Amino acid sequence: MEKHTEYKYMSGFGNHFSSEALPDALPKNQNSPQKCSYGLYAEQLSGTAFTVERKNNQRSWLYRIRPSVSHKPFTKIDEKTGLVSQFSDTNNVSYIPNQIRWNPFKSTEKADSSQNINFIDGLHTLAGAGDPSVRNGLAIHIYNANHDMVDTAFYNSDGDFLIVPQHGRLDVTTEFGRIMVSPCEIVVIPRGIKFAVNFPDGPSRGYVLEVFVGHFELPELGAIGANGLANPRDFLTPTAFYEEKTDCDYTIVNKYVGQLFSAKQNHSPFDVVAWHGNYVPYKYDLNNFNVIGSISYDHLDPSIFTVLTCKSAFPGTAIADFVVFPPRWAVQEHTFRPPYFHRNCMSEFMGIIKGKYDAKAEGFLPGGASLHSHMTPHGPDTPTFEKASNEELKPVRKNNAIYPIIF
């Protein structure tokens, strides 16, 4: 078997895809034949319960050189980590109703060169709600890393990861293929899918949204119509990639109920030669977002900037909405154009990829973050208010790239 290494993608959101790195590696007309081509093993990965209605059912079939079950027992990693997932734990979590802002998180470029920090070690939790043990809620992390995951893979049993690089590209290898992710792009790794992150540009930092229940979906468009916001065709899923790496010392790290466990195995987990299904990792370029906005008066609600949503059991209310404020024109007449003063039944976390935030001209910088918890008042600072209340209103091009998470 030869190694398939190119970055190639298939277009679409929620599609049923098929991909093979070797000809005829996918079985014909069935999922689990008595004998698979090339001596491969058939393995199903279920992202939803078997009996979930068909329109929401997610699963994929993988055809791999070694079955995933071929590993030694998991043991708990005792070293202290920066991860928190159980937000009812008052020993590790502080409840603060104040408006919170973080300066840009220190880059690992300035760390001791002998301190190698991979993606797992560089994860630190900032905020969240709920508990993964009951599959309800979310967590927001930052990552700050400078070292590739060598012979190491990670998977998350607690939920889906939505990763937003702010500085430095991510070279992400998954069981389904390879994904190159640049700043202003996002990558989603659903629950249970193994992946490894390398850093082709050196040290990297960014943000991670984790949801403990359900999966991300495109928001409904309602009166907008059939087109707008994030178009399905702009989401990209990788094609099959595999490496035939055996007789090695590979470490599998699992996040389970907020704790990290590791297991050893003697082969690469990235040995999937072919696969088909709709439970897949994918990436999206935020520059492709089709912005909807007011062309007459007033500042519309930020829900019009929703890229992806994770729905709750209550119609119209999300576990989390991932939103982006991309480059766009502001043209409203006789209107206070920055974000209005607000109190919200949902919490708002915000990070900046580049540019400036309309409501905070100074002090809120790329690589930093802010949190406004539910019902905490927030709004523009005094200099922004004075300027926006008195300036001559002309069409203005905004060139920032800011993403809020509303939960």
Residues serving a catalytic function are 299, 342, 348, 372, 378
Residue 343 CB partners (closer than 8 Å, separation 6+): 375, 376, 377, 378
Helices (H), 342-404: 382-390
- In Å, what is the CA distance from 101 to each residue of 90, 104, 140, 349? 21, 10, 14, 10
Instruction: Give yes or no for a contact between 281 and 238, defined as CB atoms under 8 angstroms apart.
Output: yes
Residue 374 CB partners (closer than 8 Å, separation 6+): 344, 345, 346, 347
- In Å, what is the CA distance from 307 to each residue of 20, 99, 119, 171, 322? 30, 25, 25, 22, 6
- In Å, what is the CA distance from 352 to each residue of 98, 202, 290? 20, 20, 19
Residue 336, token pair as written in the block: 């206070």
Instruction: Give yes or no for a contact between 406 and 346, defined as CB atoms under 8 angstroms apart.
Output: yes
Q: Phi first, then psi: what are they for 387, rounded to 5°?
A: -65, -50
Give me the torsion for CA of 158, 160, 165, 170, rounded to 10°. 90
User: DSSP character for 95?
Assistant: -
Residue 287, token pair as written in the block: 């520059």
Instruction: Give yes or no for a contact between 287 and 18, defined as CB atoms under 8 angstroms apart.
Output: no
Q: How far apart are CA 40 and CA 67, in angstroms?
A: 9
Pick the closest to residue 168 from 195, 209, 199, 208 (CA basis): 199
